Amino acid sequence: MDDTDSALDDTAGLLGIGAFARRVGLAPSALRFYDDCGVLHPAYVDDTTGYRYYAPGQERRAALVRRLREAGVPLTDASVVLDGPRDEARAVLEAHARTARETAAAARSALQEVLEELAGGARATAAEVGGAELASAVRQVAPAAAGGAVREEFPALGCVLLELDGPEVRLVATDRYRLAVRTLRSRAGEGRPRHVLVDSREMREAAAWAVLRPEVTIEADEQGARLRSASASRELPDVAGAFPDYRMILEGLPVPRARLIADRTALRTAIAGDVRSGPVALHSDGRHLSLSAPGLAGRPQPALCTGQPLCVSFDPEVLLPALDAGVGPDVLLEISEPVQPVVVRSADQGSFTTLVMPVRHTAERQR
């Protein structure tokens, strides 16, 4: 048998690179590139001519490579999908899908702004929510806005930040000692993301107006913001000023060292009933919770405690409103350090989060 016969035997049942490329929807140059990258090697390469041949059984892998590349998946990630464990492959694809959605959303927003400018005006951003739902969000968030001298010195802190961002409406307020964030899902939303600052007193009055209406549309444009119902509307005067970057605060929170789950009403009653002045301290040994205050010895408090032992102190005038704003019978406190903001959540409402600044523990202040 000569060399020609041997080569024919080696390529029996195989497809030349051109035929294989047509069958799987890839260009021959792409197949050569994927061979060089180690993603898709041919089944046989002629030593004399360098010509590549592919087996029919390689079609599925080639088609998967094509689909991944059409989706913009980098080859480093594509190799994990092709040859890695199933869990890692799924994680890579889910991460790429998230990135693709975010990129597409940013592109749509940018293009929409250009189209609006070309049209000679900006379209209003709108979001539709339930009137009672909006009123409830204002009730939870507005108490965190600053009052008195702080409001006079920093007018933005006396406001509620109202953000319209696609399918979400966010209400945010802070007086620097407490930060409250409530997210609502919009039933219908349109326009580019916008935000307005509304005086907290004005926002409370708007909430009283909205609670009587089944559906309310929140609109914002270059002229300001307003609430609309089927039969009436109400302006939301915009306050000039820069609101603190609350996202940076939330994203910068350390990992919690301890979590306390307590009866919200019982905890509030214990603090309000026993504490007359000065800070209240929450002590946890990792299993049990107790309260203490100046002139008040440690008193056990029913709670589920996990994590490391700690002691964190609060000004009752700051902590009590955070407990009042919660929903449901339980309250969850996530604590990282005694001097870092404490996250206060409700098991019955994940869309509302409060941060409360602790104060220095009484024993430390007396040193």
**Tens of pLDDT along 214-246?**
999 999 887 889 999 998 999 999 999 999 999
Do 166 and 206 lie in one domain? The reply is yes
**How would residue 209 be classed by pLDDT, with cut points 50, 70 and 90?**
very high
Do 243 and 260 lie in one domain? The reply is no
The predicted-structure confidence for 24-67, as pLDDT tens digits, reads as follows 999 998 899 888 888 899 999 988 888 999 999 999 999 999 99
Q: Give the tokens for residue 269.
A: 């009653």
In this structure, what DSSP letter does residue 13 have? T
Domain containing 216 equals: 125-247
- The mean per-residue pLDDT over the stretch 321-340 comes to 90
**How would residue 8 be classed by pLDDT, with cut points 50, 70 and 90?**
low
Greatest mean pLDDT among 73-82, 119-128, 170-179: 170-179
Give the residue among 270, 272, 278, 275 at the shortest CA–CA distance from 366. Answer: 278
Q: What is the signed CA dihedral for 262, 264, 267, 270, rounded to 10 degrees?
A: -150
Judge whether 297 and 275 are in contact, CB under 8 Å.
no
Give the residue among 99, 30, 91 at the shortest CA–CA distance from 62. Answer: 30
- The mean per-residue pLDDT over the stretch 340-356 comes to 86
In a domain, 216, yes or no: yes
In a domain, 214, yes or no: yes
In a domain, 287, yes or no: yes
Give the residue among 187, 149, 144, 88 at the shortest CA–CA distance from 344. Answer: 144
**Beta-strand (E) ranges in 175-320?**
178-185, 188-190, 194-199, 215-221, 224-228, 233-236, 258-263, 280-284, 289-293, 296-301, 303-307, 310-314
Q: Find the CATH number of the domain harbouring 192.
A: 3.10.150.10
Judge whether 166 and 105 are in contact, CB under 8 Å.
yes
The predicted-structure confidence for 87-138, as pLDDT tens digits, reads as follows 998 998 999 888 888 888 777 777 766 766 665 555 678 899 999 999 999 9
